[in-house]
Chains A and B, each alone.
Chain A
Amino acid sequence: MRRLRRRTHTVHALLERRLRDDAAAVPPLPANVVASLTAWWQLTGVPLPAIVADPNLLPPESLRLFVVDQRWQRSLLAGAFSVGRSASDQLAVDAQALTAALPTIAGADETGLPVMSGILLRSGVVKGWPTMRVVGSAQGTVVPVVRRENLLPTVLLVLFAGIAPVDQVVFSEPAEAVHFGVDTDEDSGKATGAKTLRAITGTDAGNPLMTNGAGVTVTVPYRSAAVLDVAALAGAMVGPLNGAHGNDDGQGQPRAFTAREFAVEMIKGVESVTVALAAPRAMGGR
């Protein structure tokens, strides 16, 4: 008798729990379902014509800033989640489960769903520098990139997620493109016959060496058509560099000028472009 009572008690407890909370009975969403929904939330797989419905939205050589419409994203996910729904009474369960999964999918933190914004860049620069660096910031704070893809050889999509839409984007040549060379005339692209020196030591290491507010340059010695007299160039760099304390071992003495010092001097700056964009202003839905 005692034994029977204990068993009924177990069944009772089980039922009690189920009656109390229907939702607890619904199993959690499989990981791959959440993963696919997350990819679609980031507009992966959404065809370009659905994003840019008219080519005039993104003419050649243009940069367009946008905010991602969450209602559109949520409609997309709702459509995806509708697959396999055979009875209308499942809608409530589905809606509840999808709503519950939204914060995970969107990468929400305690402040709520992040604001997803982004840029579309259509330019030959995308083709020439497919791995260029793109850093976006909003109100002076760098905003993390959630997705970056070259949708076409000349079209780059970058999505950011943060507290506010991006208002400034810095494009720069990728780090692996760090290369060496002599100074170029901005306008003609020809050699200026000079090389601007960089500081080798101290907090300014790698930055242009400045004396009295002006850069320090040396004349580049050539052997013949564009062939540098490397040893003479290195020799020419030592004097001005040490004179301006661009190379200091910490005790007031210059370090030996070797391949490493020469490499730093010969780095040709990586180009970087900062584009400030008017942040999209808030506007009510239609």
Chain B
Amino acid sequence: MSTTDPTVQFFQYDIPALEAGSYTLTVTQHAADTRANPAFDETFAFVRTIAVSGDRFTVEGSHLGAVFPPTGSGEFGQCLPHVTCVRPTLPWERAVQADSFGTPWLAVLLFDSETYAPPPLQSLTVADLARSQGSLPAATASYADADAAFAPELGESWTDPLHAIDVDRATFCALAPTLLDLPLLAHARKLIEASTDDDPLDDPGHVSLIVGNRAIESDATGTRSYTAHLVSLEGLGPFLPNAAGDVPAALAAFTAVRLISLRSWSFVSHDPAETFAGYFDNAAFSTGPLTITAPAPTSAPPPTTLNAALAQGYLPVNQRTRLGERSIAWYRGPCVPYATAQPAIGDPNAPEGAATADALLRYDDADTAMFDASYAAAWQLGRLLALRDTAFSQALYDWKRQAADASAQAALHAAVTEALGLETTSDVRRIAAELIAAIYAPETLGAHPR
């Protein structure tokens, strides 16, 4: 648990050194010497093709982190959904269109069950994104229609599986961010001062976030469900609408757009009463010490001693004595409503000196004439915990044996010294020591016969 709040630093983007894709590396060297015999004038070229691979049709699971809102239900009114990219450069590894530096290729589209129905998630292949290769319907636009050069890169193939959604044109134009919106909807962030909390959930470190552009609206009845899709907009610049939602020219001939869905999740946003603070503000929420109040008396008023005991956190519980008698005793757990007087460390009456559970039974003869079994029960519970923990009980048993050996050894020395009589002078001790050394080898001293 941290005592200081961590500081989060935001960044406009986290641009990768190289965008994903194929690169041609050409090195040329021109060498000429007219005075040489024979004179030469030659150009040497060295060409290598390299590919920077990156997530494209699917995203490696470890590259994405948590999504917000989490799958399930909660109160998310007026929040924007977002996806965390654990690989911080991910949103900027591909391009929406040429000359779109700093513009992410990923966007979160938020569908709901009422206004913009979520399209079904289809399991397709890369070929289904290009009409020339697969099953793309004539009226559905996809990546190959926006970018004629669309093709699998090194290490990819037309048969690679992916998930896609077919969004009808009107919905796409209403929901998709504009080219101006996109750069504002992704940012990187870093936790500067890591919290000291040992909870791993609490350390987001350096990540990027892709934020949706549509606010979630809470629904008192809980009937409206939301589905969010993290979609690829790689090369789809010409398809993106303007703020007025006009149909772009590139989409004029189509009725739907097929988009790769890299991650999708669903959630419900409820009633605003169930907010974080709402739980604490609720009239039914109570705070106080860990006690119960006595039930209202049916006949005579309850004895004040009973109320006093209850106020101190004691409860009457059934007790079965060692002799099998049934009785009622007081019990109070380790969590008490008052700071109580504590025995000093090393106090001879402290619980450490108790030989049995019953040694810790206390009798309240002044007020209620009942036993207080709290500490006896704790002792018994401790014994059960120890017996269940075999590593503990074995180690403790071994230790006790060693301790017993050691004290037996010491007692033996004391006994021999005493048996030799007289005062314990250093000469007597020396004689005793020699005597013992003569009888026992040091290794066997005091060891139990096995």
Residues on A close to B: CB < 8 A? 8, 11-12, 14-16, 18-19, 22, 25-27, 29-30, 32-33, 36, 40, 43, 45-47, 50-54, 56-85, 87-88, 90-91, 93-95, 97-99, 102-103, 113, 115, 118, 120, 123-125, 128-129, 131-135, 142, 144-145, 148, 165, 171-184, 188-191, 223-232, 234, 258-264, 266, 268, 271-273, 275, 277-278, 280-286
For the A-B complex with A30-B396, A71-B375, A273-B276 known, give 12 more contacts whose Cβ atoms are closer than 8 Å.
A8-B430, A25-B410, A26-B402, A57-B291, A65-B337, A79-B386, A131-B199, A135-B1, A176-B202, A181-B80, A184-B78, A283-B338
- Please, how many angstroms separate the alpha-carbon atoms of A40 and B387 in the complex? 13
Knowing A75-B351, A263-B209 are in contact, say whether A33-B396 is a contact too (CB < 8 A). Answer: yes
Asked if A69 and B382 make an inter-chain contact with CB atoms under 8 angstroms apart, the answer reads no
Residues of A within 8 Å of B393, CB to CB, are 83-84
Residues of A within 8 Å of B204, CB to CB, are 175-176
Asked if A36 and B389 make an inter-chain contact with CB atoms under 8 angstroms apart, the answer reads yes
Residues of A within 8 Å of B398, CB to CB, are 30
Show 15 residue pairs from A and B whose CB-CB distance is below 8 angstroms, ordered by the A residue: A14-B433, A50-B334, A51-B335, A66-B336, A69-B335, A71-B375, A74-B343, A79-B384, A90-B404, A128-B274, A142-B3, A230-B177, A230-B180, A259-B186, A263-B189
Asked if A70 and B342 make an inter-chain contact with CB atoms under 8 angstroms apart, the answer reads yes
Knowing A148-B1, A229-B243 are in contact, say whether A280-B332 is a contact too (CB < 8 A). Answer: no
**Chain A residue at smallest Cβ distance from B288:** A64
Residues on B close to A: CB < 8 A? 1-3, 5-6, 8, 10-13, 66, 68-69, 74-75, 77-80, 82, 115-116, 174-175, 177-178, 180-181, 183-187, 189, 195, 197, 199, 201-202, 204, 209, 211, 213-218, 243-245, 271-272, 274-277, 279-282, 284-292, 309, 312-315, 317, 331-343, 345-346, 350-357, 360, 362, 364, 372, 374-387, 389, 391-393, 395-400, 402-404, 406-407, 409-410, 413-414, 417, 426, 429-430, 432-434, 436-437, 442
**Chain A residue at smallest Cβ distance from B177:** A230
Asked if B413 and A32 make an inter-chain contact with CB atoms under 8 angstroms apart, the answer reads no
Asked if B332 and A69 make an inter-chain contact with CB atoms under 8 angstroms apart, the answer reads yes
Knowing A15-B429, A271-B277 are in contact, say whether A72-B378 is a contact too (CB < 8 A). Answer: yes
| Candidates B285, B382, B384; contact of A62 at CB < 8 Å | B285
Residues of A within 8 Å of B5, CB to CB, are 175
- Please, how many angstroms separate the alpha-carbon atoms of A56 and B313 in the complex? 11
- Please, how many angstroms separate the alpha-carbon atoms of A33 and B403 in the complex? 14
Q: How far is the CB of B393 from chain A (nearest CB, A)?
A: 5
Asked if B211 and A281 make an inter-chain contact with CB atoms under 8 angstroms apart, the answer reads no
Knowing A75-B382, A94-B400 are in contact, say whether A180-B430 is a contact too (CB < 8 A). Answer: no
Knowing A61-B279, A95-B352 are in contact, say whether A179-B289 is a contact too (CB < 8 A). Answer: no
Residues of B within 8 Å of A180, CB to CB, are 79-80, 82, 211
- Please, how many angstroms separate the alpha-carbon atoms of A66 and B202 in the complex? 27
- Please, how many angstroms separate the alpha-carbon atoms of A30 and B393 in the complex? 11
Asked if B284 and A113 make an inter-chain contact with CB atoms under 8 angstroms apart, the answer reads no
Asked if A53 and B317 make an inter-chain contact with CB atoms under 8 angstroms apart, the answer reads yes
Asked if A189 and B272 make an inter-chain contact with CB atoms under 8 angstroms apart, the answer reads yes
Q: How far is the CB of B160 from chain A (nearest CB, A)?
A: 31
Residues of B within 8 Å of A71, CB to CB, are 340, 342-343, 350-351, 375
Q: How far is the CB of A231 from chain B (nearest CB, A)?
A: 4
Knowing A65-B290, A231-B243, A271-B277 are in contact, say whether A40-B285 is a contact too (CB < 8 A). Answer: no
- Please, how many angstroms separate the alpha-carbon atoms of A56 and B295 in the complex? 11
- Please, how many angstroms separate the alpha-carbon atoms of A8 and B372 in the complex? 58
- Please, how many angstroms separate the alpha-carbon atoms of A286 and B383 in the complex? 25
Give the most central of B287, B375, B397: most A CB within 10 Å.
B287
Q: How far is the CB of B247 from chain A (nearest CB, A)?
A: 14
Asked if A230 and B353 make an inter-chain contact with CB atoms under 8 angstroms apart, the answer reads no
- Please, how many angstroms separate the alpha-carbon atoms of A257 and B286 in the complex? 46
Q: How far is the CB of A262 from chain B (nearest CB, A)?
A: 5
Residues of A within 8 Å of B3, CB to CB, are 135, 142, 144
Residues of A within 8 Å of B395, CB to CB, are 30, 32-33
Asked if A68 and B312 make an inter-chain contact with CB atoms under 8 angstroms apart, the answer reads no
Asked if B79 and A174 make an inter-chain contact with CB atoms under 8 angstroms apart, the answer reads no
- Rank and list the top 6 A-B pairs by shortest CB-CB distance, nearest first: A79-B382, A189-B272, A79-B379, A231-B180, A230-B181, A125-B279
Knowing A133-B1, A182-B78, A223-B245 are in contact, say whether A67-B336 is a contact too (CB < 8 A). Answer: yes
Knowing A26-B406, A262-B184 are in contact, say whether A69-B336 is a contact too (CB < 8 A). Answer: yes
Asked if A11 and B1 make an inter-chain contact with CB atoms under 8 angstroms apart, the answer reads no
Residues of A within 8 Å of B317, CB to CB, are 53
Knowing A66-B289, A175-B204 are in contact, say whether A80-B1 is a contact too (CB < 8 A). Answer: no
Q: How far is the CB of B423 from chain A (nearest CB, A)?
A: 14
Residues of B within 8 Å of A178, CB to CB, are 8
Asked if B290 and A58 make an inter-chain contact with CB atoms under 8 angstroms apart, the answer reads yes
Q: How far is the CB of A164 from chain B (nearest CB, A)?
A: 9
| Candidates B202, B279, B289; contact of A174 at CB < 8 Å | B202
